[in-house]
Amino acid sequence: MISIITTVDLKYRPFDILRKVERIRKESSNFAELVISHFDRNTIFDALLKRMISGNSAIKLISLEAKKNQPTCNSRLRNIAVSSCSNELILLLDIDIDFDFDFIFEECFGIVDENYFSIYPCVYLSKFGTKHLDLKGKEYLIEKIKSADERYYTHVAMPSSIIVMKKRVYLAVNGFDERYIGYGYEDLDFMIRVTQYLYEERDVGINLIDKPYLSVMYSIGFRKWISLKNIENLMLSKYFLHRYHPSNRSSDYYSYKRENKKIFDDKFPCDQMSEIDLKSTLIFSLGEESLSILEKHRELFSFNTGNRGRIDTVKQKVKYIFGK
């Protein structure tokens, strides 16, 4: 058995999230306990969520009372969920991920290692890709992604916050740091601490470079360091798919990233690099394997728009073409 941990705050995209919860509720499996940690603002949407989950023995809803304008704290929600889950094996999943229960079962069945910790790559689908996921299924999407057909996805994220691990390890590092609120850095903080705990602490010192990437194979610093520890999942295309949703970067949820960055920098003082040195990238670290990777995994080299902005609407496409 495994406990799947996800978080919900219906202040943002309530209709979209409720539809996704309903999809998950219908597809939920007996081998998995689903724990939904819920930032309860006591709105009509929160009441609908509780009614939707009521009576479903496979889903445990944990509601944390919150004020109307209180900022989301996903770290707090995850910590509460993990402390309440029934199983030693846990999976952290964002509510926007496609919950492929067959894939989860294949990956998680029979894990006995008490220090088990595995990070999975996440592919962010475009609106077009999400539509075809529902029409033609995951296998079809994976083939399109591996051929680097950018109509179907915006970017590949590795490391991502999709993590399978033992509850013992989660508790050993004291879970997520609850000083992070809103969007940004709490997952990177957690992954660094767990990787330090499980591997040689000295490794992190030479890898504390905070440089976001547009292509997975050109990642550097701690992102490369964490990816190398979980490289098998990347090479075997063990992808979780992130369903498209509109993103409003001007919302208060994203406004905390700068403050979160300060918290992160205080804990992990990072070097800043203005340009990427090829010898410091993930692809260089893989050596001779890189040629076969290039042939089989074009998606890991493609420079998609990713977090620079989605291009699913005419307005967004025009802005992208003119470099805005």
DSSP string, 204-254: HHTT-B----SSGGG--HHHHHHHHHTHHHHHTT--EEEPP----TTSGGG
**Stated pTM of the model:** 0.88
pLDDT of residue 250: 67
pLDDT of residue 291: 64
- How many alpha carbons lie under 13 Å from residue 218 in its C-beta half-sphere? 14
Integer Cα distance of 89 and 23 in angstroms = 23
CATH architecture assigned to 1-112? Alpha-Beta Complex (3.90)
Contacts of 206 (CB under 8 A, 6+ apart): none
Of 175, 196, 197, the C-alpha closest to 186 is 175
* pLDDT tens digits for range 226-269: 998 898 998 899 999 999 998 776 678 888 999 999 999 999 88
Q: How many residues does the chain have?
A: 324
Q: In which element (H, E) is residue 102 found?
A: helix 101-108
Centroid of chain to Cα 284? 25
Q: In which element (H, E) is residue 314 found?
A: helix 314-321
Of 240, 93, 231, the C-alpha closest to 163 is 93
Tokens of residue 26, six digits: 């219908």
pLDDT of residue 252: 83
Q: What is the DSSP letter of 298?
A: G
As to burial, measured by CB atoms within 10 angstroms (0-12 exposed, 13-18 middle, 19+ buried), residue 244 is buried
pLDDT of residue 161: 95
> Could you give phi then psi for residue 126, rounded to 5 degrees?
-80, 175
pLDDT of residue 320: 43
Torsion of CA 29, 30, 31, 34, to 10 degrees: 70
Average pLDDT, the chain: 86
Strands 240-242 and 2-8: unpaired
Beta strands in the chain (DSSP E): 2-8, 32-40, 59-65, 89-92, 117-125, 153-166, 240-242
pLDDT string in tens for the chain (324-residue length): 899 999 999 999 999 999 999 999 888 777 889 999 999 999 999 999 999 998 888 899 999 998 888 899 999 999 999 999 999 999 999 999 999 999 999 999 888 889 999 999 999 999 999 999 999 999 999 999 988 898 999 989 999 999 999 999 999 999 999 999 999 999 999 999 999 899 865 555 557 788 888 788 888 888 998 998 898 998 899 999 999 998 776 678 888 999 999 999 999 887 766 566 677 888 888 876 666 776 777 788 776 544 444 444 555 544 544 444
